[in-house]
Amino acid sequence: MLISVGTMIYLAALAILDARRREISTIVLGMGSFAAILTAGWLLLRGSTSWEMLLFGTVPGLLLLALAGMTGGAGVGDGIVLLQLNFLLLFDRVVIAFGISMLIIGAFSAVILLAKLGKKDLRLPYLPFLWLGCLVAFCIC
């Protein structure tokens, strides 16, 4: 429970930074990665997860990193955060959170397009939607 609350606080702080600045500090990402690796090691030692689940859970983050690479580097921080979440929240919650966040950001984008509020080069921050997805995943998992 403590890991989940800490993760949600960390993700909320990142979501605020992403929404305001459209970038995430590499120092904050580095500290989050260190905490995620420590947490994954602790969960492995406790027997709460397996190597296979940890490796399989990296797929959403790797997909987001690949997408960021294809689009010219935008969104690399989002992919790293999604990889961190795999080690902090484990496979089932991360996959559910990723899917829900994609549905929410898609619906939000559709509303913006239908209301003709967006411009051609509009870029939405992803981490606030990922935070909402994690919140929903906590409620249903």
User: Which tokens in the block code for residue 15?
Assistant: 């979501």
Q: What are the residue ranges spanned by the domains of the chain?
A: 2-140
Mean pLDDT of all residues in 60-78: 80
pLDDT beyond 80 at 121: no
User: Which pLDDT does position 73 carry in this prediction?
Assistant: 62
Backbone dihedral region of 8: left (phi > 0), alpha (psi from -120 to 50 degrees) or beta? Answer: alpha
pLDDT beyond 80 at 91: no
Residue-wise pLDDT for 2-43, tens only, equals: 778 888 888 898 889 888 887 788 888 888 889 888 988 888
Confidence of residue 107 (pLDDT cuts 50, 70, 90): very high
Q: State the chain's mean pLDDT as an integer.
A: 85
pLDDT greater at residue 104 or residue 122: 104
pLDDT beyond 70 at 74: no
Nearest C-alpha neighbor of 68 from the set 126, 25, 11, 21: 126
User: Which pLDDT does position 69 carry in this prediction?
Assistant: 82
pLDDT greater at residue 74 or residue 126: 126
Confidence of residue 65 (pLDDT cuts 50, 70, 90): confident
Those residues with Cβ within 8 angstroms of residue 85's Cβ, 6 or more apart along the chain or in another chain: 7, 11, 36, 61, 94, 97, 130, 134
Residues 37, 87 contacting (CB under 8 angstroms): yes
User: Which pLDDT does position 104 carry in this prediction?
Assistant: 93
Residue type at 20 in one-letter notation: R
